[in-house]
C-alpha cells in the first residue's frame, strides 16, 4: 500500500529494447535530476538484431556504426540491377550487441537512471487521486518484482496490432569463405543489396536483402510482404533457399552461421484494438504468449494520463518500409530534451497527412495486386532519382519527390486505391476515356480484402 506521495521514479520506461534503451541512455546523459527506472523482461541482451539506416557523418551513434555502404541495389529477378548512391549519405549498419552495450555503458555511468532486467511489467493504472499529489497525476505499474510508482510512464512493450501487410523476414550472418555469389543478384563489389532477386506471386513479394560485412561474411535475409503473418519456419526456408542459390548452402563445409535474426513487422498498422472478427486486417503480435500474460491490460495503457506509448508499438515503424531505427533515435532525443526541461514525455509525432496517404495507397495497391509488386519496386528504382527515393524513404520527401514517385508507377492500380470520392474526382478529371471507364469499373480493394481476412484473431507467430 502506498503511504507516501513520493514516487519511486519520475519516469518508468517499460521495455528496454531499441526505443526504451535509446530514451534511457539519452536521459542518462542529460543535464537533469530526473530519476528513471527502465524495466525489461529479458534477463540478458544478445546480438538478436542489427539496425540499418541512412545517415551522414554527423550523428552521435557514429562510433558504433560498424559497416556502411555508399551504394545500394534494387533488382527484380531476371531484370537489370539499379544501383543507387546519394552524395553525403551512406547506408549504415549498427549491430544490436553494440547498440545495447553502448546504451548500457551510458546508463551504468549515471546514478539517476537504473535498468532492471528480468522484470516483467504488467498492468499500468492511474495512481488514485486521493493519494496522488495533484489529483489525476501519477501512475502505478505492476511488475513481477512489485509495484513501481512514477509521475510518467513510457511504454514500449510490443503489442498486438492489425496491419495492411506484414514484412516477414529471416536472416543469417554467415561466414562463406568468399563463395557468396553477389553478382547473381546484380550487387556490385562494395555495394549492399536492398531489394534484390525480387519476385512476386499471388501471395506477395519476396526478395533477398544482402549486407556484405567483409569479403568473407555477409548478412543474408529473405523477406516477404504478406497480407498475413507467415510462420517463422516458412520464412526461414526462403532464407535457406536464397543462401543455397547464392553458393553458400547451410551445412556446406565452407559455410558457418554466426548469428540469426528474424522478425514480422506490421506495415500500415490499423489502430483498432477490438477483436479481429469483422476487422479486415489481420492482427499480429511478436510478443511471446508468456509476455502477453505479463503485459496484462497494457494495450489500454496509452489512454491513461501520464502514460505515453512509444517504439514500434507507438507508431515508430514507417508504414511503407518498416524502418524505425532513425525515427526512434529522433524521438528519443526530443523526448529526453523535453523531460530534461521538466515537461511531460511525448510519443512519436503523427505522420504528416500526405505521407500517410501515400504510404496507405501504396500498401493498398500492393495488397490488391501482389503479383505486380516486384514490377512496382523495380519501376521506382529505375524511374526515380536516387536522392528523391531516399528522401521519400527517410521522411524528407518534397512534393516534387512524391510526384516523381507517382509518375514512375502505373497509374490505374494506384488510382483505384483512392477513397471513393477522390476516385470519382480523379475519373472526372482524367481525359482518357479508357481510364475513366476502367476507374469506374474498379472494385475498391477494401471490399475485396474484408472478405479475405474477416477471421478471428489468431496468434500466428512462429
Ligand atoms: C530483427 C529485426 C531487425 C530490424 N532491423 C531494422 C533495421 O535495419 N532498420 C530499422 O530502421 N528498423 C529495423 N527493425 C525495426 C525496429 O527498428 C525494431 O523492431 C526496434 O527494435 C523497435 O524498437 P522497440 O523498442 O519498439 O521494440 P524492441 O526493440 O523489440 O523492444 C521491446 C522490449 O520490450 C520488452 N518487453 C516485452 N514485454 C515486456 C514486459 N511485459 N515487461 C517488460 N519488458 C517487456 C522486450 O524484451 C524488448 O526488449 C528491425 C526489427 C527486427 C525485429
Task: Tell me which of 129 and 30 has the higher pLDDT.
Answer: 30
Q: How far is the CA of 18 from the centre of ligand 1 (A)?
A: 5
Distance between CA atoms of 110 and 39, rounded to whole angstroms?
16
Residue 95 makes CB contacts below 8 A (sequence gap 6+) with 47, 50, 64, 66
Any ligand 1 atom below 6 A from CB of 388: no
Say what the pLDDT of residue 444 is. Answer: 43
Determine which residue's CA is closest to atom 28 belonging to ligand 1.
17
pLDDT bin (cut points 50, 70, 90) of residue 433 is low
Any ligand 1 atom below 6 A from CB of 100: no
Res. 443: pLDDT tops 50: no
pLDDT bin (cut points 50, 70, 90) of residue 460 is very low
pTM: 0.87
Any ligand 1 atom below 6 A from CB of 169: no
Any ligand 1 atom below 6 A from CB of 17: yes
SS3 145: coil
**Which grid coordinates belong to 183?**
553478382
Q: How far is the CA of 312 from the centre of ligand 1 (A)?
A: 7
Fold classification of 9-68+94-159+287-340 is: FAD/NAD(P)-binding domain (3.50.50)
Any ligand 1 atom below 6 A from CB of 323: yes
Determine which residue's CA is closest to atom 6 belonging to ligand 1.
51
Res. 171: pLDDT tops 90: yes
- Report the pLDDT averaged over residues 76-82: 96
Q: How far is the CA of 15 from the centre of ligand 1 (A)?
A: 9
Q: pLDDT tens digits for 365-394?
A: 899 899 999 999 999 999 999 999 999 999
Say what the pLDDT of residue 303 is. Answer: 79
Q: pLDDT tens digits for 117-135?
A: 999 999 999 986 555 455 5
Nearest residue to 217 via CA among 175, 248, 187: 175
Ligand 1 pocket check: which of 12, 20, 294 to mutate, most ligand atoms within 8 Å of Cβ?
20
Task: Tell me which of 133 and 224 has the higher pLDDT.
Answer: 224
Res. 434: pLDDT tops 70: no
Say what the pLDDT of residue 123 is. Answer: 96
Any ligand 1 atom below 6 A from CB of 423: no
**Torsion over CA of 208, 54, 405 and 316, rounded to 10 degrees?**
90
Amino acid at each position: 500500500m502506498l503511504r507516501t506521495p513520493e514516487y519511486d521514479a519520475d519516469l518508468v520506461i517499460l521495455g528496454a529494447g531499441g526505443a526504451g534503451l535509446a530514451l534511457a541512455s539519452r536521459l542518462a546523459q542529460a543535464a537533469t535530476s530526473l530519476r528513471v527506472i527502465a524495466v525489461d523482461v529479458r534477463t540478458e541482451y544478445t546480438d538478436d538484431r542489427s539496425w540499418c539506416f541512412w545517415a551522414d557523418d554527423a550523428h552521435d551513434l557514429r562510433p558504433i556504426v560498424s559497416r556502411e555502404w555508399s551504394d545500394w541495389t534494387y533488382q527484380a529477378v531476371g531484370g537489370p540491377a539499379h544501383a543507387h548512391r546519394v552524395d553525403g549519405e551512406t547506408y549504415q549498419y549498427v549491430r544490436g550487441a553494440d547498440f545495447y552495450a553502448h546504451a548500457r555503458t551510458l546508463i551504468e555511468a549515471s546514478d539517476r537512471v537504473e535498468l532492471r532486467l528480468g522484470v516483467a511489467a504488467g498492468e499500468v493504472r492511474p495512481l488514485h487521486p486521493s493519494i496522488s499529489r495533484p489529483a489525476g497525476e501519477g501512475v502505478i505499474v505492476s511488475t513481477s518484482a512489485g509495484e513501481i510508482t512514477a509521475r510518467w510512464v513510457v511504454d514500449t512493450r510490443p503489442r498486438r496490432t492489425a496491419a495492411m501487410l506484414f514484412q516477414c523476414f529471416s536472416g543469417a550472418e554467415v561466414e562463406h569463405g568468399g563463395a557468396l555469389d553477389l553478382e547473381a543478384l546484380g550487387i556490385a563489389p562494395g555495394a549492399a543489396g536492398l531489394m534484390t532477386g525480387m519476385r512476386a506471386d499471388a501471395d506477395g513479394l519476396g526478395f533477398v536483402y544482402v549486407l556484405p560485412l567483409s569479403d568473407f561474411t555477409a548478412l543474408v535475409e529473405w523477406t516477404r510482404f504478406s497480407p498475413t503473418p507467415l510462420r517463422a519456419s516458412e520464412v526461414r526456408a526462403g532464407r535457406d533457399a536464397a543462401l543455397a542459390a547464392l553458393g553458400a548452402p547451410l551445412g556446406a563445409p565452407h559455410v558457418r552461421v554466426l548469428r540469426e535474426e528474424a522478425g514480422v513487422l506490421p506495415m500500415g498498422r490499423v489502430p483498432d484494438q477490438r477483436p479481429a472478427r469483422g476487422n479486415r486486417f489481420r492482427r499480429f503480435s511478436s510478443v511471446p504468449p508468456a509476455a502477453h500474460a505479463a503485459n496484462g491490460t497494457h494495450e489500454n495503457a496509452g489512454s491513461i494520463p501520464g502514460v505515453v506509448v512509444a517504439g514500434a508499438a507507438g507508431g515508430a515503424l514507417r508504414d511503407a518500409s518498416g524502418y524505425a531505427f532513425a525515427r526512434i533515435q529522433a524521438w528519443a532525443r526530443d523526448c529526453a530534451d523535453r523531460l530534461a526541461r521538466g515537461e511531460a514525455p511525448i510519443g512519436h509525432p503523427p505522420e504528416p497527412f500526405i505521407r500517410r496517404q501515400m504510404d496507405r495507397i501504396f500498401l493498398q495497391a500492393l495488397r490488391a495486386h501482389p503479383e505486380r509488386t516486384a514490377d512496382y519496386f523495380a519501376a521506382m528504382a529505375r524511374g526515380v532519382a536516387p536522392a528523391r527515393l531516399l528522401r521519400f524513404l527517410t521522411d524528407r520527401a518534397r512534393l516534387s519527390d512524391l510526384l516523381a514517385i507517382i509518375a514512375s508507377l502505373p497509374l490505374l492500380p494506384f488510382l483505384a486505391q483512392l477513397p471513393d470520392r477522390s476516385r470519382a474526382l480523379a475519373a472526372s478529371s482524367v481525359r482518357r476515356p479508357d481510364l475513366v471507364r476502367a476507374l469506374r469499373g474498379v472494385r475498391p480493394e477494401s471490399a475485396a480484402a474484408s472478405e479475405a481476412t474477416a477471421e478471428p484473431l489468431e496468434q500466428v507467430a512462429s
